[in-house]
């Protein structure tokens, strides 16, 4: 079974209340339910977590890598500031999809730079809660393909 860790950074726990004109009215609990429902259709196991603390996110990234899991991460503001998260992703070996609810490229200039993107398989942004579902599908696809390519051929 494919295992995916969905990790959420600072202030993501405020979804539904925080700047609804940007992030919408969907709560993190609503998103978790959507992700779990989608994972069930894919046959994937989900670990869904949120922390406002950078070191906790680093620990969870390392844990995902050690378990051979994929990662979908909405690192929030840490996307634009955290070399520690970048290094954890690079060192973990976990295929990672960076996601954002809003289109960060249509926002303030400081949000245009991601330390995580260069060590991620891909980036999905601007689709609201659907960004999580697209991220889950993407990392699931990557992991299925990697597993297929690692199997010895049966000739």
- pLDDT tens digits along 56-92: 999 999 999 999 999 999 999 999 999 999 999 999 9
pLDDT band at 18 (very low <50, low <70, confident <90, very high): confident
Would you say 80 is a known binding-site residue? yes
42 is in which domain, residue-wise? 2-150
> Residue 155 falls within a domain, yes or no?
no
Domain-located, residue 137: yes
CA atoms of 91 and 3, how far apart (whole Å): 18
CATH number at residue 62: 3.40.50.9100
- For 19, list phi and psi in degrees, rounded to 5: 40, 65
Residue 15 is labelled as binding a ligand: no
Residue 81 lies in a domain: yes
Reply yes or no on whether 100 is catalytic. yes
23 is catalytic: yes
Residue 38 maps to a domain: yes
**Active-site residue identified among 23, 78, 132, 140:** 23
- Mean pLDDT check: name the lowest of 16-20, 23-27, 48-52, 127-131: 16-20
Instruction: Classify each residue of 37-51 as buried b or exposed e, where b means 16 or more C-beta atoms within 10 Å of its C-beta.
Output: ebbeebebebebebb
Count of domains forming the chain = 1
pLDDT tens per residue across span 22-65? 777 889 999 999 999 999 999 999 999 999 999 999 999 999 99
Is 140 annotated for ligand binding?
no
Q: What share of the chain is helix, strand, coil (3-state, %, to 5)?
A: 50, 20, 30
Domain presence at residue 63: yes
pTM for this entry: 0.92
Query: Does 52 count as an annotated binding residue?
Result: no
Instruction: Confirm or deny that 74 is annotated as ligand binding.
Output: yes
Query: Which position among 78, 100, 132, 140 bears the catalytic label?
Result: 100
């Amino acid at each position: 079974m494919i295992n995916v860790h969905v990790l959420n950074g600072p202030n993501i726990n405020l979804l539904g209340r925080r700047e609804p004109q940007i992030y919408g009215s969907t709560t993190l609990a609503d998103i978790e339910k959507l992700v779990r429902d989608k994972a069930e259709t894919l046959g994937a196991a989900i670990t869904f977590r949120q922390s406002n603390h950078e070191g906790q996110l680093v620990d969870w990234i390392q844990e995902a890598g050690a378990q051979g899991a994929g990662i979908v991460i909405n690192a929030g503001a840490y996307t634009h500031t955290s070399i520690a998260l970048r290094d954890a992703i690079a060192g973990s070996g976990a295929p990672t999809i960076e996601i954002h609810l809003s289109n960060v490229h249509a926002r303030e200039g400081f949000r245009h730079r991601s330390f995580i993107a260069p060590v991620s398989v891909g980036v999905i942004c601007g689709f609201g809660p659907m960004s999580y579902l697209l991220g889950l599908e993407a990392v699931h696809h990557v992991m299925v393909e990697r597993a297929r390519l690692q199997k010895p051929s049966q000739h």
